[in-house]
Amino acid sequence: MGAMTMPATPPLTDQIAARLTDALTPTRLDVVNESHLHAGHMGDNGTGESHFRVEVESAAFAGLSRVARQRLVNGALADLLANRIHALAIRARAPGE
C-alpha cells in the first residue's frame, strides 16, 4: 500500500483573502506576505507565513470607527490569528475614502 498524503494547505495569503472576501465582500483587497521582512525576528516561526499586511475596502466599513473596522477583520481571521498569524497590519476603508 502506498503512503497516504495529506492534501496541500493553500498558502496563508489565499486563506486570508478567501475569509475576508466571504466576510466583507470587498471592492478591493490586497493581502501581502511580509514575513521575509521579519526573518529571524521574534514571531518568525520559520514557515515564511507569519507577518501579513491587508488593505481592504468594503461597504461594510461605512460609518464605522477604525477600531470597529479592525475588529471585523480580526473576527474573520480569528483562528488564524490565534494559531498561525503572528502579526497583521490592517488598512480598512469604505469605498470613496
Give me the pLDDT at residue 16, please.
97
Count how many domains the chain has: 1
The Cα 46–Cα 32 span in angstroms is 17
Q: What is the model's pLDDT at position 10?
A: 80
**pLDDT score recorded for residue 46:** 58
Q: Which domain holds residue 48?
A: 28-93
Residue 3 located in a structural domain: no
pLDDT recorded at residue 49:
75
> Are 43 and 29 contacting, i.e. CB atoms less than 8 angstroms apart?
no
Q: What is the CATH number of the domain that holds 49?
A: 3.30.300.90
16 assigned to some structural domain: no
Q: What is the pTM of this model?
A: 0.83
Domain-located, residue 10: no
Which residues of the chain are under the pLDDT cut of 50? none
